[in-house]
Amino acid sequence: MTPLDTLTTPRLLLRASDPAFAAAAADFYARNRAAHASWNPPLPDALFSVDGQCGRLAAAATAAALGSGVGWWLFAPSEPSLALGQVHFTQIARRAFCSAMLGYAIDAAHEGRGLMREALAAALDDVFSPRVGLHRVQANVRQENTRSLALLSRLGFEREGLAREYLFIDGAWRDHVLTALRHPQWPADRAPPTSS
């Protein structure tokens, strides 16, 4: 996978995971700890520290170099040190599967402005491009998270089922709606690359 440092949208700069902005990432998690608690599994304290984020971002950069992950942090061009959100594709599998898991989060103070839709559209275009070459992206969301489910629907994700007691979040095992988006121009009979 050819390295790519940035993606640009009309209002955002998506920067590939890099330990250089560990402080911005730690600040993002700290600002949103309470607001995101209903949607995330319990997070380790290290995620809220610069050192912890430095290690996490270094691991994400290594995953990108190996082709097993793609991670982006969202910044406004006018505020290059303030992380507004993140988009990440993990568990990238190649060959007959050619798929990844999608995760994303936006700063609670910036919800409802269409920024996450803008970022996801750009990031999905990238993973479906020849650079990454995915056939399918999966995203699993708590059924109570109607805003996130509506966002995925607007992007073309389809509901595929319900995973009962899928993740331990906010003090209990929570059901998740399973959704997926397939590469819009990938013919059903086109095989995945054999060299991946």
Domain ranges of the chain: 6-182
pLDDT for the residue 107: 96
Residue 125, pLDDT > 70, answer: yes
Q: Say how far apart CA 5 and CA 118 lie, in whole Å.
A: 18
Q: What's this model's pTM, rounded to 2 decimal places?
A: 0.93
Strands 99-106 and 136-142: parallel
In angstroms, the first-to-last Cα distance of the chain is 9
Looking at the chain, the whole-number percentage of residues with pLDDT higher than 90 is 81
26: Cα within 13 Å, side-chain hemisphere: 17
Cα 29 from Cα 53, distance rounded (Å): 10
Kindly tell me if the per-residue pLDDT of 67 is higher than 80.
yes
The fold of the 6-182 domain, in CATH, is Aminopeptidase (3.40.630)
